[in-house]
Copies of this chain bind each other. A is one copy, B any other.
């Protein structure tokens, strides 16, 4: 992904961590551009990689979750998503774990659909978006104390209506959903 001979790459003159908390690891960097100009205070957010999943049941229903998001102050319909933990043997295993914990759905056929960044200017991490077809309800939810998540099954028509009215606001989730619908010619 990196281009080592990148003619536009910035040179880091100084780098210091402002915070190293688990959900807030921030570096302040003094950088120099190829044209010689400098930015003395460029902020970089270090997060672990993230995963999300378009999970579709055998009855062709999309498994979505609804939860509160404190940045926007808004409870939103979303794809199931979470963090790729360092201990996870693969990104797919991270995504399978998140789907099972948040919704109780599992099994099915999995593939990586797309790899995206929430903001390549400020974030070091990527979000890996999976497609899981023929998933089944195989357990109850297993939520953490700080999670308040309800599960919702949507038909393709309901999902398209939700997307069209900007009901899925998280770009890293809207992108793989539109991609899936476009590539499978599911938009009427």
List residues of chain A with CB under 8 Å of any chain B CB.
Answer: 1-3, 6-10, 18-19, 21, 23-24, 26, 29, 31, 33-35, 37, 39, 41-45, 66-76, 114-124, 126-127, 145-146, 148, 163, 166, 169-172, 174-175, 178-179, 181-183, 185, 187
Contacts and interface: CB of A to CB of B under 8 A. Distances in A.
A185 B178 CA distance: 12
A24 B9 contact: no
Given A8-B68, A72-B1, A174 B123 contact: no
What number of copies of this chain does the assembly contain?
Answer: 2
Contacts of A117: 71-72, 169-171
A146 B182 contact: no
A47 B150 CA distance: 29
Contacts of A6: 68, 74-75
Contacts of A67: 8
A183 B121 CA distance: 29
Q: Which 10 A-B pairs have the closest CB atoms?
A: A182-B182, A178-B178, A69-B120, A8-B68, A175-B175, A171-B171, A171-B172, A174-B175, A116-B171, A72-B120
A182 B176 CA distance: 12
Nearest to A185: B187
Contact of A181 (B115, B121, B169, B182): B182
B169 A115 contact: yes
Contact of A187 (B10, B43, B123, B182): B182
A170 B73 CA distance: 23
A118 to B, nearest CB: 5
Contacts of A178: 175, 178-179, 182
